[in-house]
Amino acid sequence: MTQTVSAPAPAPPTLDRPILEVKDLRTYFFLESGVVRAVDGVTFSLARRQTLGLVGESGCGKSITSLSIMRLIQSPPGRIVGGEINLHLKETDEVVDIAKLDPKGSLMRQIRGAEIAMIFQEPMTSLNPLRTIGNQIAEAVQIHQRVSKKAAFERAEEMLAKVQMSAPKQRARQYPHQLSGGMRQRAMIALALSCNPSILIADEPTTALDVTVQAQILDLMRELQADFGSAIILITHNLGVVSQMADHVAVMYLGRIVEFAATRELFHHPLHPYTEGLLKSVPVLGRKGKQVLVPIKGMVPSPTTVIRGCPFAERCPHVKDICLEREPALAEVAPGHLAACWLHINP
């Protein structure tokens, strides 16, 4: 059976003119076992100073979406097979479709760091263990700002101070293994912001940290966003973090956005059964004893499975006949609130 292909979704609204517009993005991995549609028609836009939360279970396509924007997809087996990633360059306001650039070309290398930067989930796998923290930040500064080695290292020390690193001059001369987990994450943020990018992508930035350090990192990201004016794409499965940080939330399932809304609206009035399931399965401090957590039944389908109808139908408590036959498109159900669900849109 062939999969029903939905029309490209309308771009969710932004508070200002967008600096990034992702349109019908599709990133597939071509494996011997089949084609993995890791990102399968994702559309959203992002404005300056806006924070967009991308949420969903592991394997739903959040991180692959971010790696596609950065053009860091390993090829082969993966590649962008369709769609656009339109970036407004901060100096000239020229619009560049990142999806069409050579991932190893000079323009894409300039965009990484200067225009879009990324905080990875685990700093120890992202930082070079053989180089000091200061030298790693200074290298990025030299590449993008063409300053002397001394000036670049001074900038590194300045950025470590900005991310509230204790004794920044000393830390700049230390190696990653000499820092705690929280310090390494601060170093990653300093590295990402060293060239004042327009967009910061944070992929699970607090997952490996204890609760106290998590709160410190989130406060730091908010302060730095206010100082630098960057937009943030926050990728996480932690809905508590999203509620604190994001202006808007996009819920992803099996490579697609199934719901989009302002954060408060989505938390108080979820429309898609998958979003409802995510919210009901999260422990809440102060929840009454009789209110037990409700897990989402079933498992995420294999990414190589070709699905007829709604991808969530087999796990949905409200499934209808049409859900098994036709895939719903992401549509505006209420002002600024989009959902891909036959419960809320007309066939």
Q: Which domains, and CATH codes, for the chain?
A: 1-47+60-109+232-284+291-347 (3.40.50.300)
What tens-digit pLDDT sequence spans the chain (347 residues)? 333 334 445 555 444 678 999 999 999 999 988 899 999 999 999 998 899 999 998 889 999 999 999 999 998 899 999 999 999 998 788 999 999 999 999 999 989 988 999 888 777 778 899 999 999 999 989 888 888 999 999 999 998 998 888 899 999 999 999 998 888 888 888 888 888 889 999 988 877 677 787 788 888 888 888 888 889 999 988 888 898 899 999 999 999 999 999 999 999 999 999 999 999 877 665 556 556 677 788 888 887 888 889 999 999 999 999 999 999 999 999 999 999 999 988 77
80's CB contacts (< 8 A; 6+ apart) are 25, 26, 27, 68, 73, 99
Query: How far is Cα of residue 334 from the mean position of the Cα atoms in its chain?
Result: 24
The helix (run of H) or strand (run of E) holding residue 321 is: helix 321-325
Determine the Cα–Cα distance for residues 199 and 220; give it in Å rounded to an integer. Answer: 16
Contact indicator for 309, 316 with CB cutoff of 8 Å: no
From CA 51, how far away is CA 86, in angstroms rounded?
A: 18
